[in-house]
Amino acid sequence: LGQTFQVTSQEATKLSLAFSRPPLPSAEDCRKLSEDVQNAILAVATVYYWLPKGQGTTLRKMVRDATTEVVEGMIQLTDTILNAPEESLSQEQLISTGGVWEACEQVSNLPRGEYNQAAVVSALAACLGVVKDAVEEMEHALVEGQDPYGDIMEDEELGFRGNRDTYWSEADRQLLSSCMGLMKASKACLKKILAAVKAHGKADSPEQIAQLDDLADIANEISPSVDELALSMYPPVNPLAVRLNVSICKASLMNFLYFCRASHVCPPSEEGWVQFLTGAVDHNMNKVKNFTQGQL
């Protein structure tokens, strides 16, 4: 795979250099360049299509995305050359060539070893990164007395800074503390299952590979639900909207925890944290229900 992508980056360089200075390539040279580029792209696509589906959908998605970036980069480079002034190396052409190189070099970051297990580790780490960012951003915004919009809006834009639409009330903060508990539980879930997949994840059988893929798919539902919850927490707070997003987030987490417990990555030694986090999710959901009961 790495050699195939390297050849493609070399063909992109040859194509770009051929149209960067006079004299322009002859018709025969253009034909040869076109054939070489076409063959390189076909080789990249073939590598993806030859990748056995049994290796896992998470790995295939990563290879597919890498392949798509290379193909789209080559299309952009070709369009740039066709639309550029004759016998000149444009800035756009340099950028497009660099884009193909970068896309080809990304293949070095693709999983190695037990491929699908490594691919799922990479996918879970990406989800964890998104959730960690959301938690840290909301923790920063909830610092006592801080205006959550203070860093993006000037006073003259909002007028009087006592406007309730830009601040949290004490009741808001009590509700949001439970929401933060759920967000932190999401972060803990992903962190724990990431460690479990690293320690216990296997790709020796179709069942194990499928379980790993399902873990990655379910984890992909958690980060968007946490993001939506965080957005609904900004003032002016609508308690019912917050409760709805908390319910969605809880459903994603419970589905994730249930599947984790039933999969091969959670032997008996891992059941303690699964049970603890299940209780933490329920606890914070019940607190949100209590705070919003009067809004129904």
Domains defined for the chain, CATH in brackets: 1-109 (1.20.1420.10), 116-292 (1.20.1410.10)
| Residue 84 per-residue DSSP state | S
Identify the pLDDT of residue 13.
84
Which residues, 6 or more positions from 23, have their beta carbon under 8 angstroms from its beta carbon?
A: 87
Identify the pLDDT of residue 145.
53
Give me 135's structure tokens.
């938690």
Residue 237 near residue 175, CB atoms below 8 Å: yes
Which residues, 6 or more positions from 154, have their beta carbon under 8 angstroms from its beta carbon?
A: none
Identify the pLDDT of residue 114.
53
Residue 152 CA to its chain's centroid (Å): 25
Instruction: Using alpha carbons, select from 39, 111, 109 the residue that is nearest to residue 74.
Output: 39
CA distance 284 to 42: 52
> Which segments of the chain have a pLDDT < 50?
154-156, 158-161
CA distance 133 to 138: 9
CA distance 91 to 129: 34
Alpha-helical runs (H) found in the chain: 2-18, 27-50, 57-83, 91-105, 115-141, 155-158, 170-200, 206-232, 239-262, 271-292
Identify the pLDDT of residue 255.
92
Which residues, 6 or more positions from 188, have their beta carbon under 8 angstroms from its beta carbon?
A: 273, 277, 280
